Amino acid sequence: MADATLDARGLKCPLPILKARKALNDVAPAGMLVVLTTDPGSVADFQAFCRTTGHDLIEQASGGGEHRFVIRRRS
């Protein structure tokens, strides 16, 4: 279950990442953030974001031109 959801649909790089970084500050350690995007580049961006920040990319799904990411905040 997500602790927060960020609707970043319609935003282009780098805004989904920047907004996700800010939203994660309001999520408790080990909490979950769901991010919704439409930018095709967000797939690679969120993989790199999680790899470099240490957050866990728990789930990634794409369909119908939309992308959904579930990120667990590092503790």
Strand, coil or helix: 28: coil
Annotated catalytic residue within 2, 4, 11, 13: 13
**What tens digit of pLDDT does each residue of 6-15 get?**
999 999 999 9
Element (H, E) at 43: helix 42-53
The structure's pTM equals 0.95
Domain 4-72 in CATH 3.30.110.40? yes
**Interatomic CA distance for residues 31 and 36, integer angstroms:** 17
- pLDDT of 75: 83
**What is the residue extent of each domain of the chain?**
4-72
Is-catalytic flag, 13?
yes
Percent of the chain having pLDDT more than 70? 100
Strand, coil or helix: 3: coil
